[in-house]
Amino acid sequence: MGERRKTIKQLAQMKRAAQPIAMMTAYDYPSAVLAEQAGADIVLIGDSLAQVVQGHTATSSVTLDDVVYHTRIVARAVRTPLIVADMPFGTYHGSDDRTIDHVVALVQDGGAHAVKMEGADVCGAVRAAVRVGVPVFGHLGVQPQSVHRHGGYFVQGKTVHDAEQLREDALRLQEAGACAIVLELVTAHVAQEITEALDIPTIGIGSGACCDGQVLVFHDIVGYDPLPHRPKSFVKAYAAAADVMRDALKQFVQDVRSGAFPSPSHAHAPSEEEKR
């Protein structure tokens, strides 16, 4: 029998057993299959798809339809990781009914098992989703959907006041029913304190080694960024996929121009039998 789908209960057990949780984003069939083959516990259809797939500059450009579309593709590809879909900007800040409609779209049309919401002021939306039976990942620290309010991507939790606020926010999200919290760009010691204070797992990105798990964007892990962007200090690129792919594509173009491709072995000639 194959491996079973990761559950929220297992993620909580992993925290208790100090077994780190590995989460990565995926947006399409090949990236999702690779994530599963790599043994990811969770795949996130992140609204980072705005930047890494769609060429936008901010995650706020992503629509609910976009996330549903990409979630459906990822859900078709994976059997074992838990599938978490980001709730796009503006889809969980209205009435509970509206939030529930959007959560239902991600679960029913997309195939998500859980959703993720950014911020500390979303406890009502968390409760609404949990009420209809959908687990919610919180997201504190840097919140790309409200980057303009924060004025940029700055490390969070540096002052005593900010650290205290983050701890309170995390506890409020837990109390509202969140099943895990992503901590983005939070100072390592505050991330550790929050992790120790919570019963639910924390998943860090740029928040040090003491979270219960780590998440990175697929394209960052494999170095699939064809344009030279400012390197993110918290990212470890395990490959240089863009370089490998560019070299392959250049070789193809060169071979077409030189006539080296296709060679006779790439063409279909009728067999002796077919000729008769």
Contacts to ligand KIV by CB under 6 A? 25, 44, 46-48, 86, 182, 205, 215, 217
Give which of 163, 70, 91, 225 is closest to 183, Cα–Cα: 163
Beta carbon nearer to ligand KIV, 36 or 66: 66
- Judge contact between 181 and 137, C-beta under 8 A: yes
- Amino acid, single-letter form, for residue 75: A
Beta carbon nearer to ligand KIV, 95 or 119: 119
Beta strands in the chain (DSSP E): 21-25, 42-45, 82-86, 114-116, 136-141, 180-184, 202-205, 213-216
Give the nearest distance from C-beta 174 to ligand KIV in angstroms.
18
Beta strands in 92-229 (DSSP E): 114-116, 136-141, 180-184, 202-205, 213-216
- Judge contact between 83 and 74, C-beta under 8 A: yes
Beta carbon nearer to ligand KIV, 152 or 270: 152
Q: Enumerate the active-site residues.
A: 184
Beta carbon nearer to ligand KIV, 190 or 205: 205
- Judge contact between 53 and 27, C-beta under 8 A: yes
> Dihedral, CA atoms, 47, 50, 52, 54, nearest 10 degrees?
140
Beta carbon nearer to ligand KIV, 81 or 269: 81
Give the nearest distance from C-beta 246 to ligand KIV in angstroms.
24
How far apart, in whole angstroms, are the C-alpha atoms of residue 69 and residue 274? 45
How far apart, in whole angstroms, are the C-alpha atoms of residue 180 and residue 12? 8
Give the nearest distance from C-beta 248 to ligand KIV in angstroms.
27
Give the nearest distance from C-beta 160 to ligand KIV in angstroms.
26
Give the nearest distance from C-beta 50 to ligand KIV in angstroms.
8
